[in-house]
Amino acid sequence: MSSPGQKVVLITGCSSGIGLRMAVMLAKDEKQRYHVIATMRDLKRKDKLVEAAGDAYGKTLSLAVLDVCTDESVKQCINGIKDRHVDVLINNAGIGLVGPVESISIAEMKSVFETNFFGVIRMIKEVMPDMKKRRGGHIIVVSSVMGLQGVVFNDVYAASKFAMEGFCECLAVQLLKFNVTMSMIEPGPVHTEFESKMIQDVRQKEFPGADADTVNYFKNVYLPSSVDIFETLGQTPDDIARCTKKVIEQGSSARFRNLTNPLYTPIVALKYADETGGLSVHAFYHMLFNLGPLMHVSMKAMQYLTCGCLRSRTISPN
């Protein structure tokens, strides 16, 4: 139970990675400003979180079962909170999907949208009415830079994040009238067990339905380049947690969009520099297919592009 003056923060997807680090960082806040309700589908996976939380567990951090893919689970979780009072909702739960689109079933695509899009909407619909009545609250959605700029072979994942960005952009306008803040957290690559396992799995996977050339481009061009990007631009879950904590601290003055990695600013800027879309499409094409062997060098060059004025214009929170 939260103490007087503490903000109640509910976080989805806390068994590992970004969600776990967010929960621990907020629960261990030196000023004890937050009571964190860390949720996951299966409490059998709580051990890593409990160990990382240490003394905060049972004091400023509590656990709850939550599956964002079912209406009943979402309602039951929120009803279990005193007065259904949630000051800050952090929608972190998400799943990835990568590979040639010809080999991905519609069922797999629907599964991604069920978690990444409809799961977030379920959570928002459940807490938003109470926030509106109180004329206060903060809804945070962990999106992705792929919700702003599509990346080859991430078609379905990017589509789910684009959908989320559009939904939240519309809703943010209405929520301002009720003094409820909407914020998007937009990481690029993040070093997590989830990401590492996914890359290992797809290397060994067969892709029925996709032609040999496409499979070759995916496995022998995209995947090596993807690893280079992760090594050069990748952040840690703690980086994302720190950014999110700053957004919470900013309250009603928090920005709507928050890129966590300034190294991605030039990539996103390509899209907005040319309304026809040609610049970004062709830039990504050349980066992947013409600069494959030089990807590591090009990634290092990306770091230099973000110094000076570009770095000062990053949209991540200061």
Active site residues: 157
Token pair in block for residue 33: 């400003």
Instruction: Check the annotation: does 27 bind a ligand.
Output: yes
Instruction: Check the annotation: does 28 bind a ligand.
Output: yes
Instruction: Check the annotation: does 177 bind a ligand.
Output: no
Instruction: Check the annotation: does 37 bind a ligand.
Output: yes
Instruction: Check the annotation: does 24 bind a ligand.
Output: yes
String of DSSP letters for 111-155: HHHIIIIIHHHHHHHHHHHHHHHHT-EEEEEE--GGGTS--TT-H
Instruction: Check the annotation: does 202 bind a ligand.
Output: no
Q: H-helix or E-strand containing 184?
A: strand 180-186
Instruction: Check the annotation: does 36 bind a ligand.
Output: yes
Provide CB contacts within 8 A for 267, sequence distance 6+: 145, 149, 280, 302
CA–chain centroid gap for 255, Å, is: 16
Instruction: Check the annotation: does 41 bind a ligand.
Output: yes
Instruction: Check the annotation: does 29 bind a ligand.
Output: yes
CA dihedral 130, 132, 133, 136 (to 10 degrees): 90
User: What length is written for the chain?
Assistant: 318
Are the C-beta atoms of 127 and 176 separated by less than 8 Å? Answer: no
Instruction: Check the annotation: does 32 bind a ligand.
Output: yes
Binding positions for NADP(+) are 13-41, 67, 161
Q: Which residues are annotated as a binding site for substrate?
A: 144
Output the known binding site: 13-41, 67, 144, 161
